[in-house]
Amino acid sequence: MDFAAITDIYKADSLFGRYITLEDIEPLLLLDSRKGKVGTIGNSVEGRALYSYTIGHGPFKILMWSQMHGNESTATKALFDLFDFFDSDASAQSLLDAFTFCFVPMLNPDGALRYTRENANSIDLNRDFINFSQPESRALANLFESFRPDFSFNLHDQRSIFGVGETGEPATLSFLAPAYNAEREINDTRKKAIEVIIAMNQSLQEIIPGKVGRFDDSFNPNCVGDNFQMKGCPTVLIESGHYPDDYNREFCRKLTFQSILAGIFQLNEIVVVDNVIEEYLIIPQNMMVFFDFGFKNVKINYDGKELITNFVAQYKEELIENKLFFNAYFADSANCDVYFSHESYEAEGALFQSESGLYPAVGEKANFMLGNQRFENGKRI
């Protein structure tokens, strides 16, 4: 199956960028052309609908949810691309015959509106699967118990700080078969999740070689993936990350869609994977090694002394009047044994100057001069 060709054809064009809210997806979900069934599994803290979308009639049940963290929207876009594929492509019929899918495309609509990780009560829903203190957590848990999935996909975004080990490659996508116990052992349930990850990784290596990571598998039963794995449901975590110059995550959206397709087809075809654990562990683990901007060999005046140094800047995603801005601020790299930059500038000893001083103060906006060259928001202009 040519997954890349499918993802080139199907795209919900009205969904674009990082700021995706319930208002954006609701009309797409309620289209008359949808083959599946739209329902609700509850309401958010502020009363917004938690929509579900069920399609297919096969015996094997797959559950997927996205935007559990409100500012993690890449997979939400990918899910609507997948819905269009299900509605329009003849090759999708075999999947709809084999599987029954249940999707929750936006579990945290309050957080999505605020562009925050947490919900309206400032609770991280992915740390609420013991207490179930929030209506969104309870809604997903109740859906899990009533739908009784045979497999789950937990869909997230990761920040641009993550790299593939110390290779200098960004972690454009990362996968995890969550642990089911503190010893992080691999039982049959976790092995099934690993087999799906291997299929997804193999598909992506043809397009983004070296840019796939493996997320940390420390056990935390408060996390939904660990909790579901512990209950015997194979669960895969997909973390959509950074690709060069793709801060809107439109290319990564395509890759996320492709990963989901590859995972579904693996479950459908039940391809036997040799040396499954070794293949999984070959995927390098994520490390926090990236900054958005790096500036090398910069002359600064510090305490009356001229020094040559390097410094870095990092974007903060800031919602201002319902528009998302990427604002660059100077950051601290002192605790990094190794780091890389998505954009790197060689100053060749040019003198740093900014409105606030003669050296880059951590937390200050990255607007400055290097010699006669001006930089605004981290970029040379």
- Do the beta carbons of residue 49 and residue 22 sit within 8 Å? yes
List b or e across 64-99, with b for residues whose CB sees 16 or more CB atoms inside 10 angstroms: bbbbbbbbbbbbbbbbbbbbbbbeeeeebeebbebb
In sign, the C-alpha dihedral spanning 44, 241, 179, 277 is: positive
For residues 212, 123, 222 and 239, what is the CA-based torsion angle, rounded to 10 degrees? -10
Q: Which of 374, 332, 373, 371 is CA-nearest to residue 349?
A: 371
Q: Compute CA distances 187 → 128, 129, 201, 272, whole Å.
A: 25, 22, 21, 16
What's the burial of 323, exposed, middle or buried (CB within 10 Å: 0-12/13-18/19+)?
exposed
Residue 155 DSSP SS3: strand
The residue behind tokens 């899910």 is 79
Q: Is 306 a catalytic residue?
A: no
Q: If phi over 0 gives left and psi between -120 and 50 gives alpha, with beta otherwise, what is residue 98?
A: alpha
Q: Catalytic: which of 72, 136, 195, 239? A: 239
Strands (E), the chain: 37-43, 49-56, 60-65, 99-104, 151-157, 162-164, 173-176, 212-214, 235-240, 286-288, 290-302, 305-320, 323-331, 340-346, 352-353, 368-370, 373-376, 379-380
Catalytic residue ranges: 239
